């Protein structure tokens, strides 16, 4: 199948950051075969020609940290302390979910990701990779799936398992799901947090990740209490502790990375560790990560939304806007974190964080046909004096008109083609209430109910 998309503005995010006005994109099956100008021969040999005047094409966005299984817990973690969030709300909720709950939760999450232009995401860790894998296969997007693993600490007993059982289950899921759905699904190993992971589990995780040639996704230096506990337990910061274990490696995706010293940043840079920055979650409760300082040291930083109870908005477009504002405010510098840097974080640098940059993250010949079609002609985005600035600072989900992944439309002219969205929304509400009831989570109404 050969499709030609023409009469459109194209932002490639290639190494030269080339953009085309009145440009074209030729897609053959799942692959981009031409970017830039289309010729009469391209049009004559195409199975379909799609004209997109006034539209903008850019690479599919990459969300480097999502808890898809927490989508049904949206709103349960608002206005509470971080430990109430963990121990009384989210972990009990997660521990009472079934595989079918995880499937529906992931479908709901996928709808929100699709509508915000995300073609690829990295799962932070749920209990049921089978449920997640089934949903991602159906949704038509790319996902790196992981299981949440904990073997020590104060988490719900249902979520704590011996190291041998945790590793065996992850290897089983890797055998079942890695490179499935035409290569759209990958499976990595995960570590939830050093507060809940023993040294034995950490070492075994990195050994198996290296053996299988996949990454490790973990929360690192997320909260100040984590730094204090690990210093007391091991005599190092969390980053320093991993360095002592030989676990700072290029295939580690360190999420949040809020509480870092200069020495920690140097270690991450030296070992080419990748970082996922989640600005909304940071602003809510975690702190102010030194992202500009990390990037100045050459650390690759992508963007993530975190889970629905940490952020409430699984919208990477909002994260782009927050990223530029957070660091301008943190540094008192209006020139910090410019729009072009933020767009890079959401595209090609996000792909680098997931070790997928050879196939996605930019629009280039030979790469996968993953791209977003934007309609900037809305009151919230017009006028456009500086297109990249408007994309980062003004774009909303209603500007995302279509999304193509692996050469196929998953969103076309505002309609999701792969998921019965209304049915998923209805079932999600019913399941969320049932899970909260099983977990005995009861919220007090904010205002009197009449």
Residues 337, 206 share a domain: yes
| Percent of the chain predicted with pLDDT > 90 | 94
Whether 270 and 142 share a structural domain = yes
Residues 275 and 369 in one domain: no
For the beta carbon of residue 441, count every other beta carbon within 10 angstroms: 16
| Structure confidence at residue 157 (pLDDT) | 63
Residue 433 lies in a domain: no
DSSP, residue by residue, 125-170: -BS-HHHHHHHHHHHT-EEEE-B--B-SSSS-GGGB--HHHHHHHH
Half-sphere exposure of 163 (CA within 13 A, CB side): 14
Which of the listed residues 308, 323, 353 is the one where a domain comes to its end?
353
Q: Judge if 17 and 93 occupy the same domain.
A: no
- Do 253 and 149 have their domain in common? yes
Q: Which residue has the tokens 């999420």?
A: 255
**CATH number of the domain residue 206 falls in:** 3.20.20.140
Q: Which helix (H) or strand (E) holds 280?
A: helix 279-281
CA pair distance 90, 93, nearest whole angstrom:
5
Considering just the CA atoms, what is the radius of gyration of the chain in Å? 21
Opening angle at CA 141, ends 139 and 146, nearest 5: 95
Terminus-to-terminus CA distance in the chain, angstroms?
59
Average pLDDT rounded to a whole number, residues 63-82: 95
Within-domain flag for 196: yes
Range with lowest mean pLDDT among 144-158, 175-189, 217-231, 329-343: 144-158
- pLDDT, one tens digit per residue, over 274-314 is 999 999 999 988 899 999 999 999 999 999 999 999 999 99
Q: Is the pLDDT of residue 317 over 90?
A: yes
Question: Is position 322 within any domain?
Answer: yes
User: Where residue 450 falls among pLDDT bands split at 50, 70, 90?
Assistant: confident
Q: Where are the beta strands (DSSP E) in 201-273?
A: 216-220, 252-256
The mean-pLDDT minimum among 85-89, 211-215, 287-291 falls in: 85-89
The number of beta carbons lying within 10 Å of the beta carbon of residue 94 is: 28
336: domain range? 61-353
Q: Helix crossing, 238-245 with 262-270: angle to 10°?
A: 40
In terms of domains, do 28 and 150 share one?
Answer: no
Continuous segment of H or E residues that includes residue 435 = helix 421-438
> Are both 69 and 53 inside the same structural domain?
no
Phi, psi of 312 (to 5 degrees): 75, -15
Same domain, 260 and 201: yes
Shared domain check, 68 and 24: no
Residues 50 and 175 in one domain: no
* 374 within some domain: yes
pLDDT at residue number 159:
78
Residues 200-229 have a mean pLDDT of 97
Helices (H), 22-128: 40-44, 82-84, 91-95, 99-115
pLDDT at 87 over 90: no
On whether both 376 and 332 belong to a single domain, the answer is no
Residues 333 and 236 in one domain: yes
What's the angle, vertex CA 32, arms to CA 26 and CA 33, rounded to 5? Answer: 65
Q: What is the token pair recorded at 237? A: 């910061």
Cβ–Cβ < 8 Å for 289, 258: yes
Average pLDDT over residues 268-273: 98
Asked if 13 and 60 count as a contact pair (C-beta separation under 8 A), the reply is no
Sign of torsion over alpha carbons 410, 415, 417, 422: positive
427 falls within a domain = no
User: How far apart are the C-alpha atoms of 99 and 328, rounded to whole Å?
Assistant: 42
Per the structure, the count of domains in the chain is 2
Residue 219 lies inside a defined structural domain of this protein: yes
Other Cβ atoms less than 10 A from the Cβ of 125: the count is 26
pTM exceeds 0.85 for this model: yes
β 56-59/61-66 pair status: unpaired
Residue 423 lies in a domain: no
Tokens of 369: 């046909």
Domain assignment present for residue 448? The answer is: no
Domain boundary among 326, 353, 380: 353
Q: What average pLDDT score do residues 429-436 get?
A: 97
Q: What is the pLDDT of residues 331-381, one digit of tens each?
A: 999 999 999 999 999 999 999 999 999 999 999 999 999 999 999 999 999
- Give the pLDDT confidence score for residue 153 in this predicted structure: 85
- Report the pLDDT value the prediction gives residue 155, as an integer from 0 to 100: 67
* Residue indicated by tokens 């209006």: 334
- What is the CATH classification number for the domain harbouring 375? 2.30.40.10
């Amino acid at each position: 199948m050969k499709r030609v998309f023409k009469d459109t503005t194209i932002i490639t995010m290639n190494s030269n950051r080339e953009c085309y006005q009145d440009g074209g994109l030729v897609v053959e099956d799942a692959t981009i075969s031409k970017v830039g100008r289309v010729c009469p021969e391209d049009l004559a040999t195409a199975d379909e020609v799609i004209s997109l005047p006034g539209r903008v094409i850019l690479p599919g966005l990459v969300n480097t940290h999502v808890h898809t299984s927490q989508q049904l817990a949206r709103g349960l973690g608002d206005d509470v302390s971080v430990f109430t969030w963990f121990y009384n709300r989210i972990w009990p909720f997660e521990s009472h979910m079934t595989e079918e709950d995880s499937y529906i939760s992931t479908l709901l999450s996928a709808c929100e990701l699709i509508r915000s232009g995300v073609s690829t995401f990295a799962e932070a860790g749920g209990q049921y990779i089978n449920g997640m894998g089934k949903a991602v296969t159906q949704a038509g997007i790319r996902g790196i799936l992981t299981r949440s693993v904990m073997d020590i600490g104060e988490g719900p007993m249902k979520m704590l398992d011996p190291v041998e059982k945790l590793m065996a289950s992850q290897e089983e899921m890797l055998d079942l799901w890695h490179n499935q759905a035409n290569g759209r699904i990958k499976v990595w190993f995960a570590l939830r947090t050093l507060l809940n992971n023993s040294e034995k589990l950490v070492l075994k995780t990195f050994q198996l990740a290296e053996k299988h040639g996949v990454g490790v996704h973990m929360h690192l230096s997320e909260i100040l209490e984590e730094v204090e506990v690990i210093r007391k337990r091991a005599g190092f910061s969390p980053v320093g502790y991993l360095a002592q274990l030989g676990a700072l490696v290029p295939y580690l995706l360190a999420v949040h990375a809020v509480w870092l010293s200069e020495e920690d940043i140097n270690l991450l840079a030296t070992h080419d560790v990748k970082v996922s920055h989640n600005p909304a979650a940071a602003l809510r409760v975690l702190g102010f990560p030194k992202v500009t300082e990390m990037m100045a040291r050459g650390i690759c930083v992508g963007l993530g939304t975190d889970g629905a109870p940490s952020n409430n908005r699984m919208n990477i477009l909002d994260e782009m806007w927050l990223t530029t504002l957070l660091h301008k405010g943190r540094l008192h510098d209006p020139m910090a974190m410019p729009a072009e840097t933020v767009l890079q974080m959401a595209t090609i640098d996000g792909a680098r964080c997931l070790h997928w940059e050879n196939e996605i993250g930019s629009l280039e010949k030979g790469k996968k046909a993953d791209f977003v079609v934007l309609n900037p002609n809305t009151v919230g985005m017009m006028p456009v004096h500086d297109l990249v600035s408007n994309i980062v600072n003004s774009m909303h989900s209603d500007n995302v008109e279509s999304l193509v992944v692996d050469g196929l439309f998953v969103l076309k002219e505002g309609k999701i083609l792969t998921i019965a969205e209304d049915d998923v929304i209805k079932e999600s509400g019913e399941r969320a209430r049932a899970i909260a009831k099983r977990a005995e989570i009861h919220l007090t109404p904010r205002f009197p109910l009449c």
